Amino acid sequence: MTTTTPETIDDTVDDTNDRHSAKMRKKKAARDRLMADKAGEKGLLIVHTGPGKGKSSAALGMVLRCIGHGMPVGIVQFIKGAMDTAERSVLEGFPDLVTVRALGEGFTWETQDRARDVAAAERAWAVAADMMADPKIAMVVLDELNVVLRYGYLPVASVLEAIAARPPLQHVVVTGRNADDALIEAADLVTEMKLIKHPFRAGVKAQKGVEF
Amino acid sequence: MTTTTPETIDDTVDDTNDRHSAKMRKKKAARDRLMADKAGEKGLLIVHTGPGKGKSSAALGMVLRCIGHGMPVGIVQFIKGAMDTAERSVLEGFPDLVTVRALGEGFTWETQDRARDVAAAERAWAVAADMMADPKIAMVVLDELNVVLRYGYLPVASVLEAIAARPPLQHVVVTGRNADDALIEAADLVTEMKLIKHPFRAGVKAQKGVEF
């Protein structure tokens, strides 16, 4: 190995090749990101959290924007049901631009099977990681990932590492209640959706076009 | 005039026909709404407010849901630029379901012409009122109406009256910062988008697919 740039020499001395290449990837991503920043272009890490409505809807609104710009989008649903078949059917009308993968097995209080939930989360994460490794994908939506992290089904550190190593112009949108502090710290844009008033409390059932 | 139902007799004695028919329309709407409620179906008044991002995006996400269900949607933009041509181009791909009308003249601090702004707001409102009078339209999005109300370009009372008299199953979504208290009071579902972190503060410019 003939490393000549001074900042990499110390790092590699005690590392295996695997660890080294992971580090190099991170460094390259950081450098690329810095260069991109200078040109004013930057892939943003966006978090929609809080107990209010609109976290996934606002992500969908951004997907619509990307479609309008001809920017390819990847969507991974970590919890089943967060995105309805109605929305999916519209998005599937743009097969060249939008890829939707739903891998959640349903809410945990329904499945009550932690091992199965962890396995589902890991499968979903593998798909997400592939999308985040593809510089052709302009935006990756990780729908309800916060919930999965909250339950400890995926390690926050690996998720943050993959997000940091993504292509520098790629936007990542993470939705779900109770976003991890480290994710908020890493994010560029964080919105908390706060619930002021909700019709279910007044005995009104979920309405087509609004809730699903 | 041969009104026989007791609750309408007193109301009409001193009224002109116009006022009477407006009152009757309101009563009918209230009764229809009550009946609809009993069946669990209800057109919701939804407000997205607060200083955070995602107010219009979340409305767009709901529009996407409606498109997926084949539910017709009307969108009125009260401030120019709130919805980009990119999004509009996607929505215009569903001409049978989505009508978008942009009538704002731009932000007030750009125009600095109150009379022109008021006239633009009134034109936009006339379009919105037509949409809200049409029971075939399942959802009406009044994008950035809150800003217009805040500046006093339209009287809040007339806006609330028209919203209350809309077809009972029609959803209305109002977006914009600083929602009026009376609108929040009348609403079924209110979400406040709270800004936790914003990239512009860190010197990053608006990004395609996210901001526009």
**Residue A12, pLDDT score:** 42
- CA-CA-CA-CA torsion sign (A155, A158, A164, A167): negative
pLDDT at residue A76 in the model: 94
From chain A, the residues in CB contact with B195 under 8 A are: 190-191
Domain boundaries, chain A: 1-40, 43-202
Q: Chain A contacts of B186, Cβ < 8 Å?
A: none
Closest to A60 (Cβ–Cβ): which among B61, B184, B199? B61
Rounded to an integer, the average pLDDT of A80-84 is 66
User: What's residue A64's pLDDT?
Assistant: 92
How does the average pLDDT of chain A come out, rounded? 82
Residue A200: per-residue pLDDT: 58
- In order, the DSSP letters of chain B are ----SHHHHHHHTT--HHHHHHHHHHHHHHHHHHHHHHTT----EEEEESSSS-HHHHHHHHHHHHHHHT--EEEEESSTTSS-HHHHHHHTT-TTTEEEEE---S-HHHH--HHHHHHHHHHHHHHHHHHHT-TT--EEEEETHHHHHHTTSS-HHHHHHHHHTS-TT-EEEEE-SS--HHHHHH-SEEEEEEEEE-GGGGTPPP-TTTT-
Instruction: Report the distance separating Cα A60 and Cα A75, nearest Å.
Output: 9
pLDDT confidence of residue B108: 53
For chain B, positions 103-142, list CB contacts with chain A under 8 A: 138-139
- Angle, to 10 degrees, between the axis of helix A156-164 and the axis of helix A17-38? 50
Q: Does B48 touch chain A (CB under 8 A)?
A: yes
Give the whole-angstrom CA distance, residue A94 versus residue B46. Answer: 28
Mark yes or no for CB contact B54/A52 under 8 Å.
Answer: no
Chain B residues whose CB is inside 8 A of the A204 CB are 37, 40, 42, 44, 188
Better pLDDT: B24 or A125: A125
Predicted pLDDT at B207: 75
Name the residue in chain A with its Cα closest to that of B69.
A86
Residues with Cβ < 8 Å from A82, sequence gap 6 or more? A56, A104, A143, A144, A175
Half-sphere exposure of A179 (CA within 13 A, CB side): 27
Q: Distance from A126 to chain B by nearest Cα, in Å?
A: 24
Residue B3's pLDDT is what? Answer: 39
Residue A48 touches chain B, beta carbons under 8 Å: yes
Nearest chain B alpha carbon to A64: B87
- Mark yes or no for CB contact A209/B139 under 8 Å: yes
pLDDT value, residue A167: 96
Does the CB of A195 have a partner CB in chain B at under 8 Å?
yes
The nearest alpha carbon in chain B to A198 belongs to B189
Residue of chain B nearest A202, judged by CA positions: B188
* Identity of the residue in A54, A60, A208 whose CB atom sits nearest the CB atom of B48: A54
ipTM of the complex: 0.71
**Domain at B43-202, CATH homologous superfamily:** P-loop containing nucleotide triphosphate hydrolases (3.40.50.300)
- What residue in B sits closest to A52 (Cα-Cα)? B191
Q: What is the mean pLDDT of each run of 10 residues along chain B (212 residues)?
A: 40 57 70 60 92 91 93 91 77 93 64 80 94 97 94 95 96 96 95 83 67 73
pLDDT for position B132: 97
Q: Do A188 and B195 touch (CB under 8 A)?
A: no
Q: How many CB atoms lie within 10 A of CB A167?
A: 18
Least confident of A147-151, A204-208, B9-13, B77-81: B9-13
Q: What is the pLDDT of residue B109?
A: 52
Of B52, B58, B71, Cβ closest to residue A61:
B58
User: Would you state the pLDDT for residue A10?
Assistant: 42
Residue B26, CA atoms < 13 Å, CB-side half-sphere: 14
- Assign A87 a pLDDT band (cuts: 50, 70, 90): confident
pLDDT at A26: 73
> pLDDT tens-digit profile of A21-78?
676 677 667 666 655 555 567 899 999 999 998 999 999 999 999 999 999 999 999 9
Measured between beta carbons, the chain B residues lying within 8 angstroms of A75 are none
Identify the residue with better confidence: A210 or B57.
Answer: B57
Handedness of CA A35, A179, B52, B196 (dihedral sign): negative
What distance in Å separates residue A111's CA from the closest CA in chain B? Answer: 27
Residue A80 contacts residue A144 (beta carbons within 8 Å): no
Q: What local confidence, expressed as pLDDT, does residue B157 receive? A: 96
Q: Does B41 touch chain A (CB under 8 A)?
A: yes
